[in-house]
Amino acid sequence: MDELEKPTPPPEEVIVPEETSEIISVNQEITEPEKTSEKISINEFCLNCGTKLQDQFCHHCGQKDIPQRQTLGELWTNFISSFWSYEGKFFQTTKHLITKPGFLAVEYNKGKRESYYHPARMYVFISFVFFLLFFSLPDENDTNDPDFKPNGVSLSQSNTPDMDSSSIAKGKKEKKRYFRLSNLPYKTVREYDSLQESKPESERDGWITRTLTKKSVELNQRYSNAPEKFSEDFGQAFTDNFSKVLFWLLPVFALLLKLLYMRKDLFVSEHLVFSIYYYNFFYLAGSVLMLVNLVSWLAWLAAAIGIWIFFYLLFAMKRAYSENWGKTIFKFTAFTLLFSLMLVLGLTVNALAILLML
Protein backbone atom coordinates (compact mmCIF):
# COMPACT_ATOMS: atom_id res chain seq x y z
CA MET A 1 0.00 0.00 0.00
CA ASP A 2 2.73 2.36 0.97
CA GLU A 3 4.36 1.91 -2.32
CA LEU A 4 1.17 2.71 -4.14
CA GLU A 5 0.27 5.77 -2.08
CA LYS A 6 3.67 7.25 -2.44
CA PRO A 7 3.25 10.14 -4.75
CA THR A 8 5.16 9.53 -7.85
CA PRO A 9 7.78 12.17 -8.31
CA PRO A 10 6.93 14.57 -11.07
CA PRO A 11 8.71 13.65 -14.22
CA GLU A 12 11.66 15.85 -14.85
CA GLU A 13 10.73 18.56 -17.22
CA VAL A 14 12.29 17.85 -20.50
CA ILE A 15 13.40 21.18 -21.79
CA VAL A 16 13.99 20.99 -25.44
CA PRO A 17 16.07 23.96 -26.42
CA GLU A 18 14.72 25.71 -29.43
CA GLU A 19 18.04 25.36 -31.16
CA THR A 20 17.62 21.60 -31.29
CA SER A 21 14.51 21.78 -33.39
CA GLU A 22 16.15 24.28 -35.67
CA ILE A 23 19.16 22.03 -36.05
CA ILE A 24 16.88 19.18 -36.96
CA SER A 25 15.13 21.24 -39.58
CA VAL A 26 18.44 22.43 -40.95
CA ASN A 27 19.64 18.85 -41.11
CA GLN A 28 16.50 17.85 -42.94
CA GLU A 29 17.04 20.59 -45.43
CA ILE A 30 20.55 19.34 -46.00
CA THR A 31 19.61 15.71 -46.37
CA GLU A 32 16.56 16.27 -48.52
CA PRO A 33 18.34 17.29 -51.70
CA GLU A 34 20.60 14.25 -51.28
CA LYS A 35 17.60 12.00 -51.19
CA THR A 36 16.15 13.62 -54.25
CA SER A 37 19.46 13.74 -56.06
CA GLU A 38 19.07 10.04 -56.68
CA LYS A 39 15.89 10.83 -58.55
CA ILE A 40 17.14 13.71 -60.67
CA SER A 41 18.85 11.60 -63.27
CA ILE A 42 15.73 11.63 -65.45
CA ASN A 43 16.93 14.53 -67.59
CA GLU A 44 20.28 16.28 -67.65
CA PHE A 45 18.77 19.56 -68.79
CA CYS A 46 15.48 21.21 -67.87
CA LEU A 47 12.85 20.33 -70.45
CA ASN A 48 11.25 23.73 -70.05
CA CYS A 49 14.18 26.18 -70.23
CA GLY A 50 17.26 24.07 -70.99
CA THR A 51 19.20 24.93 -67.83
CA LYS A 52 21.47 22.19 -66.52
CA LEU A 53 19.63 20.52 -63.68
CA GLN A 54 21.08 20.49 -60.18
CA ASP A 55 18.01 19.30 -58.37
CA GLN A 56 14.59 17.76 -58.74
CA PHE A 57 13.34 21.24 -59.59
CA CYS A 58 15.00 23.55 -62.10
CA HIS A 59 16.77 26.37 -60.24
CA HIS A 60 16.06 28.71 -63.11
CA CYS A 61 12.38 28.22 -63.96
CA GLY A 62 11.18 25.91 -61.20
CA GLN A 63 9.85 23.14 -63.42
CA LYS A 64 9.93 19.69 -61.89
CA ASP A 65 12.17 17.15 -63.57
CA ILE A 66 9.75 14.68 -65.04
CA PRO A 67 10.11 12.38 -68.04
CA GLN A 68 9.49 13.97 -71.41
CA ARG A 69 7.16 11.20 -72.46
CA GLN A 70 4.97 9.89 -69.71
CA THR A 71 3.16 6.61 -69.47
CA LEU A 72 -0.44 6.76 -68.39
CA GLY A 73 0.66 5.78 -64.88
CA GLU A 74 3.33 8.51 -64.69
CA LEU A 75 0.92 11.05 -66.09
CA TRP A 76 -1.60 10.12 -63.42
CA THR A 77 1.00 10.18 -60.61
CA ASN A 78 2.37 13.56 -61.66
CA PHE A 79 -1.10 14.95 -62.05
CA ILE A 80 -2.14 13.80 -58.57
CA SER A 81 1.06 14.95 -56.86
CA SER A 82 1.01 18.39 -58.48
CA PHE A 83 -2.67 18.69 -57.67
CA TRP A 84 -1.98 17.66 -54.10
CA SER A 85 0.93 20.00 -53.45
CA TYR A 86 -1.07 22.79 -55.03
CA GLU A 87 -4.26 22.03 -53.16
CA GLY A 88 -2.36 21.33 -49.95
CA LYS A 89 -0.98 24.84 -50.09
CA PHE A 90 -4.44 26.14 -50.82
CA PHE A 91 -6.04 24.42 -47.83
CA GLN A 92 -3.20 25.44 -45.52
CA THR A 93 -3.57 29.05 -46.64
CA THR A 94 -7.33 28.85 -46.25
CA LYS A 95 -6.93 27.59 -42.69
CA HIS A 96 -4.70 30.56 -41.84
CA LEU A 97 -7.11 32.88 -43.60
CA ILE A 98 -10.04 31.78 -41.45
CA THR A 99 -8.36 31.35 -38.08
CA LYS A 100 -5.70 34.09 -38.07
CA PRO A 101 -7.08 37.44 -39.25
CA GLY A 102 -4.38 39.58 -40.80
CA PHE A 103 -1.70 36.89 -40.52
CA LEU A 104 -1.32 36.18 -44.23
CA ALA A 105 -1.06 39.86 -45.09
CA VAL A 106 1.72 40.27 -42.52
CA GLU A 107 3.51 37.23 -43.92
CA TYR A 108 3.17 38.47 -47.48
CA ASN A 109 4.41 41.96 -46.62
CA LYS A 110 7.35 40.41 -44.75
CA GLY A 111 8.28 38.72 -48.02
CA LYS A 112 7.18 35.21 -47.05
CA ARG A 113 5.21 34.33 -50.16
CA GLU A 114 6.07 30.97 -51.63
CA SER A 115 4.67 29.07 -48.61
CA TYR A 116 1.19 30.37 -49.25
CA TYR A 117 -1.30 30.39 -52.06
CA HIS A 118 -1.02 33.65 -53.94
CA PRO A 119 -3.64 36.17 -52.68
CA ALA A 120 -4.72 37.28 -56.16
CA ARG A 121 -5.12 33.72 -57.42
CA MET A 122 -7.07 32.94 -54.29
CA TYR A 123 -9.25 35.96 -54.93
CA VAL A 124 -10.15 34.75 -58.42
CA PHE A 125 -10.96 31.26 -57.18
CA ILE A 126 -12.89 32.18 -54.03
CA SER A 127 -14.92 34.95 -55.63
CA PHE A 128 -15.84 32.53 -58.41
CA VAL A 129 -17.13 30.02 -55.87
CA PHE A 130 -18.95 32.78 -54.03
CA PHE A 131 -20.81 34.05 -57.09
CA LEU A 132 -21.51 30.54 -58.30
CA LEU A 133 -23.22 29.73 -55.01
CA PHE A 134 -24.84 33.14 -54.88
CA PHE A 135 -26.68 32.57 -58.14
CA SER A 136 -27.28 28.84 -58.05
CA LEU A 137 -28.61 28.33 -54.53
CA PRO A 138 -32.35 28.78 -54.04
CA ASP A 139 -33.33 32.04 -52.44
CA GLU A 140 -34.65 31.42 -48.94
CA ASN A 141 -37.53 33.83 -49.50
CA ASP A 142 -38.71 31.91 -52.52
CA THR A 143 -39.36 28.75 -50.61
CA ASN A 144 -39.90 29.48 -46.93
CA ASP A 145 -41.50 32.88 -46.67
CA PRO A 146 -45.22 32.50 -45.93
CA ASP A 147 -45.82 36.06 -47.14
CA PHE A 148 -44.31 35.09 -50.43
CA LYS A 149 -45.21 37.33 -53.30
CA PRO A 150 -44.78 36.05 -56.81
CA ASN A 151 -43.20 39.28 -57.95
CA GLY A 152 -39.53 39.59 -57.37
CA VAL A 153 -39.64 43.32 -57.82
CA SER A 154 -42.85 44.92 -56.67
CA LEU A 155 -42.53 48.39 -57.96
CA SER A 156 -46.11 49.46 -57.59
CA GLN A 157 -48.23 47.45 -55.19
CA SER A 158 -50.61 50.40 -54.88
CA ASN A 159 -51.44 50.04 -58.55
CA THR A 160 -52.83 46.57 -58.06
CA PRO A 161 -55.68 46.79 -55.55
CA ASP A 162 -57.57 44.12 -57.48
CA MET A 163 -54.93 41.48 -56.84
CA ASP A 164 -56.48 39.12 -54.31
CA SER A 165 -54.83 36.28 -52.45
CA SER A 166 -56.00 33.67 -54.94
CA SER A 167 -54.30 35.37 -57.84
CA ILE A 168 -51.15 35.67 -55.74
CA ALA A 169 -51.33 31.95 -55.04
CA LYS A 170 -51.91 31.36 -58.72
CA GLY A 171 -48.89 33.46 -59.52
CA LYS A 172 -46.85 31.39 -57.11
CA LYS A 173 -47.85 28.18 -58.82
CA GLU A 174 -47.18 29.58 -62.23
CA LYS A 175 -43.93 31.20 -61.23
CA LYS A 176 -41.84 28.49 -62.76
CA ARG A 177 -43.54 28.67 -66.09
CA TYR A 178 -44.21 32.33 -66.64
CA PHE A 179 -41.93 35.20 -66.09
CA ARG A 180 -43.41 38.08 -64.11
CA LEU A 181 -41.13 40.80 -62.89
CA SER A 182 -43.99 42.37 -61.03
CA ASN A 183 -47.72 42.02 -60.48
CA LEU A 184 -48.60 44.73 -62.92
CA PRO A 185 -52.00 44.24 -64.55
CA TYR A 186 -50.81 45.79 -67.82
CA LYS A 187 -49.57 43.66 -70.66
CA THR A 188 -48.07 46.47 -72.71
CA VAL A 189 -46.76 49.96 -72.18
CA ARG A 190 -49.55 51.28 -74.41
CA GLU A 191 -52.16 49.68 -72.16
CA TYR A 192 -50.61 51.39 -69.16
CA ASP A 193 -50.41 54.74 -70.96
CA SER A 194 -54.04 54.71 -72.06
CA LEU A 195 -55.12 53.76 -68.53
CA GLN A 196 -53.12 56.64 -67.16
CA GLU A 197 -54.59 59.05 -69.69
CA SER A 198 -58.12 58.01 -68.79
CA LYS A 199 -57.47 59.14 -65.21
CA PRO A 200 -57.76 62.77 -64.12
CA GLU A 201 -54.41 64.57 -63.95
CA SER A 202 -54.27 64.46 -60.15
CA GLU A 203 -54.67 60.69 -59.97
CA ARG A 204 -51.99 59.85 -62.50
CA ASP A 205 -48.72 58.28 -61.42
CA GLY A 206 -45.72 60.50 -60.84
CA TRP A 207 -42.74 60.53 -63.17
CA ILE A 208 -40.69 58.00 -61.20
CA THR A 209 -43.55 55.51 -60.78
CA ARG A 210 -44.44 55.91 -64.46
CA THR A 211 -40.87 55.29 -65.61
CA LEU A 212 -40.40 52.31 -63.33
CA THR A 213 -43.76 50.82 -64.30
CA LYS A 214 -43.02 51.18 -67.99
CA LYS A 215 -39.59 49.63 -67.55
CA SER A 216 -41.01 46.64 -65.71
CA VAL A 217 -43.84 46.21 -68.24
CA GLU A 218 -41.21 46.23 -70.99
CA LEU A 219 -39.22 43.63 -69.12
CA ASN A 220 -42.34 41.51 -68.61
CA GLN A 221 -42.95 41.63 -72.34
CA ARG A 222 -39.38 40.98 -73.29
CA TYR A 223 -38.99 37.92 -71.11
CA SER A 224 -42.53 36.55 -70.83
CA ASN A 225 -41.76 33.69 -73.20
CA ALA A 226 -38.25 33.05 -71.94
CA PRO A 227 -38.12 33.23 -68.13
CA GLU A 228 -34.83 31.35 -68.05
CA LYS A 229 -33.36 34.02 -70.29
CA PHE A 230 -34.25 36.64 -67.72
CA SER A 231 -32.59 34.90 -64.79
CA GLU A 232 -29.59 34.35 -67.03
CA ASP A 233 -29.42 37.99 -68.12
CA PHE A 234 -30.18 39.33 -64.68
CA GLY A 235 -27.69 37.00 -63.06
CA GLN A 236 -25.09 38.06 -65.57
CA ALA A 237 -25.82 41.74 -65.11
CA PHE A 238 -25.87 41.44 -61.35
CA THR A 239 -22.68 39.42 -61.18
CA ASP A 240 -20.98 41.90 -63.45
CA ASN A 241 -22.21 44.88 -61.50
CA PHE A 242 -21.90 43.52 -58.00
CA SER A 243 -18.38 42.32 -58.63
CA LYS A 244 -17.70 45.56 -60.46
CA VAL A 245 -18.74 47.63 -57.45
CA LEU A 246 -16.71 45.42 -55.14
CA PHE A 247 -13.76 45.49 -57.52
CA TRP A 248 -13.76 49.29 -57.69
CA LEU A 249 -14.07 49.47 -53.94
CA LEU A 250 -11.00 47.34 -53.35
CA PRO A 251 -8.60 50.26 -53.88
CA VAL A 252 -10.96 52.42 -51.84
CA PHE A 253 -10.66 49.83 -49.07
CA ALA A 254 -6.88 50.11 -49.26
CA LEU A 255 -6.89 53.92 -49.49
CA LEU A 256 -9.13 54.21 -46.44
CA LEU A 257 -6.64 52.08 -44.55
CA LYS A 258 -3.81 54.26 -45.80
CA LEU A 259 -5.74 57.28 -44.52
CA LEU A 260 -6.39 55.72 -41.10
CA TYR A 261 -2.81 54.54 -40.75
CA MET A 262 -1.24 57.65 -42.21
CA ARG A 263 1.58 57.70 -39.66
CA LYS A 264 2.63 54.14 -40.44
CA ASP A 265 5.37 53.87 -43.01
CA LEU A 266 3.40 51.58 -45.29
CA PHE A 267 2.84 51.65 -49.04
CA VAL A 268 -0.67 51.66 -50.45
CA SER A 269 0.29 48.36 -52.06
CA GLU A 270 0.85 46.86 -48.61
CA HIS A 271 -2.58 48.03 -47.49
CA LEU A 272 -3.89 46.56 -50.73
CA VAL A 273 -2.48 43.14 -49.88
CA PHE A 274 -4.27 43.36 -46.54
CA SER A 275 -7.45 44.36 -48.38
CA ILE A 276 -7.25 41.47 -50.86
CA TYR A 277 -6.88 39.01 -48.01
CA TYR A 278 -9.88 40.55 -46.31
CA TYR A 279 -11.89 40.20 -49.51
CA ASN A 280 -10.77 36.58 -49.75
CA PHE A 281 -11.98 35.93 -46.25
CA PHE A 282 -15.23 37.74 -46.90
CA TYR A 283 -16.04 35.71 -50.02
CA LEU A 284 -15.03 32.47 -48.35
CA ALA A 285 -17.08 33.10 -45.21
CA GLY A 286 -19.96 34.31 -47.36
CA SER A 287 -19.87 31.06 -49.36
CA VAL A 288 -19.90 28.96 -46.20
CA LEU A 289 -22.70 31.12 -44.82
CA MET A 290 -24.85 30.47 -47.89
CA LEU A 291 -24.38 26.72 -47.54
CA VAL A 292 -25.07 26.79 -43.78
CA ASN A 293 -28.22 28.81 -44.40
CA LEU A 294 -29.66 25.88 -46.34
CA VAL A 295 -29.88 23.86 -43.13
CA SER A 296 -32.44 25.35 -40.77
CA TRP A 297 -31.07 23.82 -37.56
CA LEU A 298 -27.68 25.39 -38.25
CA ALA A 299 -29.03 28.90 -37.65
CA TRP A 300 -26.72 29.29 -34.65
CA LEU A 301 -23.72 28.55 -36.83
CA ALA A 302 -24.88 31.06 -39.41
CA ALA A 303 -25.17 33.67 -36.65
CA ALA A 304 -21.68 32.80 -35.41
CA ILE A 305 -20.23 33.13 -38.93
CA GLY A 306 -22.01 36.46 -39.35
CA ILE A 307 -20.48 37.77 -36.12
CA TRP A 308 -17.04 36.47 -37.16
CA ILE A 309 -17.30 38.19 -40.54
CA PHE A 310 -18.08 41.46 -38.77
CA PHE A 311 -15.34 41.32 -36.13
CA TYR A 312 -12.75 39.63 -38.33
CA LEU A 313 -11.61 42.99 -39.63
CA LEU A 314 -11.04 44.28 -36.09
CA PHE A 315 -8.72 41.37 -35.27
CA ALA A 316 -7.06 41.61 -38.67
CA MET A 317 -6.36 45.31 -38.11
CA LYS A 318 -5.03 44.57 -34.64
CA ARG A 319 -2.61 41.94 -35.93
CA ALA A 320 -1.50 43.66 -39.11
CA TYR A 321 -1.05 47.18 -37.73
CA SER A 322 -0.27 46.21 -34.13
CA GLU A 323 -1.67 49.25 -32.37
CA ASN A 324 -3.31 49.11 -28.95
CA TRP A 325 -6.91 47.98 -28.66
CA GLY A 326 -8.29 51.46 -28.02
CA LYS A 327 -6.83 52.86 -31.23
CA THR A 328 -7.70 49.73 -33.19
CA ILE A 329 -11.35 49.78 -32.07
CA PHE A 330 -11.60 53.47 -32.94
CA LYS A 331 -10.10 52.93 -36.40
CA PHE A 332 -12.21 49.84 -36.98
CA THR A 333 -15.37 51.82 -36.21
CA ALA A 334 -14.30 54.71 -38.40
CA PHE A 335 -13.38 52.35 -41.22
CA THR A 336 -16.67 50.43 -41.02
CA LEU A 337 -18.68 53.66 -41.20
CA LEU A 338 -16.66 55.13 -44.06
CA PHE A 339 -16.59 51.96 -46.10
CA SER A 340 -20.33 51.35 -45.63
CA LEU A 341 -20.89 54.85 -46.93
CA MET A 342 -18.73 54.12 -49.97
CA LEU A 343 -20.55 50.86 -50.55
CA VAL A 344 -23.98 52.49 -50.48
CA LEU A 345 -22.70 55.22 -52.76
CA GLY A 346 -21.16 52.77 -55.20
CA LEU A 347 -24.24 50.55 -55.34
CA THR A 348 -26.54 53.54 -55.77
CA VAL A 349 -24.51 54.97 -58.63
CA ASN A 350 -24.50 51.56 -60.28
CA ALA A 351 -28.22 50.96 -59.77
CA LEU A 352 -28.96 54.34 -61.32
CA ALA A 353 -26.68 53.60 -64.24
CA ILE A 354 -28.41 50.27 -64.85
CA LEU A 355 -31.86 51.84 -64.67
CA LEU A 356 -30.93 54.54 -67.15
CA MET A 357 -29.43 52.06 -69.58
CA LEU A 358 -32.43 49.74 -69.63
Q: Is 53 in the site for Zn ion (CB under 5 A)?
A: no
Q: Which stretch binds Zn ion (CB under 5 A): 54-62, 144-152, 184-192, 278-286?
A: 54-62
Query: DSSP state, 201?
Result: G
User: 14-17 contacts: CB < 8 A, separation 24 or more?
Assistant: none
Smallest separation, CB 65 to Zn ion (Å): 9
Centroid of chain to Cα 143: 25
Q: Binding of Zn ion at residue 54 (CB under 5 A)?
A: no
Q: How far apart are CA 338 and CA 174, in angstroms?
A: 44
Minimum distance from CB of 11 to Zn ion (Å)? 53
Among positions 49, 132, 345, 354, the unique one binding Zn ion when judged by CB under 5 A: 49
Q: How far is the CB of 45 from Zn ion (least distance, A)?
A: 8
Q: Output the smallest distance, CB 63 to Zn ion, in A.
A: 5
48 binds Zn ion (CB under 5 A): yes
Contact assessment for residue 260 and residue 277, using Cβ atoms and an 8 Å cutoff: no
* Residue 40 CB, nearest approach to Zn ion (Å): 13
Establish if 58 lies at the interface with Zn ion (CB under 5 A).
Answer: yes
- Quick one: 60 or 264, whose CB is closer to Zn ion? 60
Which residues lie below 8 Å from residue 255, measured CB to CB, with a gap of 6+?
268, 271
Say how far apart CA 170 and CA 274 lie, in whole Å.
51
d(CA 269, CA 258): 10
Nearer to Zn ion, 58 or 122 (CB): 58
Rounded least distance, CB 37 to Zn ion, Å: 17
Distance CA(43)–CA(38), nearest Å, equals 12
Contact call for residue 96 and Zn ion (CB under 5 A): no
42 touches Zn ion (CB under 5 A) = no
The DSSP annotation for 132-195 comes to HHHHHSPPHHHHT-TT--S-SS-S-GGG-TT--HHHHHHHHHHTTTS--SS--S-SSHHHHHHH
Find the part of the chain contacting Zn ion (CB under 5 A) among 47-55, 76-84, 168-176, 249-257: 47-55
| Residue range at the interface with Zn ion (CB under 5 A); choices 7-15, 60-68, 174-182, 330-338 | 60-68
Q: Specify the DSSP class assigned to residue 266.
A: -
Q: Which is nearer to Zn ion, 49 or 354 (CB)?
A: 49
Number of residues that bind Zn ion (CB under 5 A): 8
Min CB(9)–Zn ion separation in Å? 60
Of 108, 140, 138, the residue nearest 123 (C-alpha)? 108
Q: Which residues contribute to the site for Zn ion (CB under 5 A)?
A: 46, 48-49, 51, 58, 60-61, 63
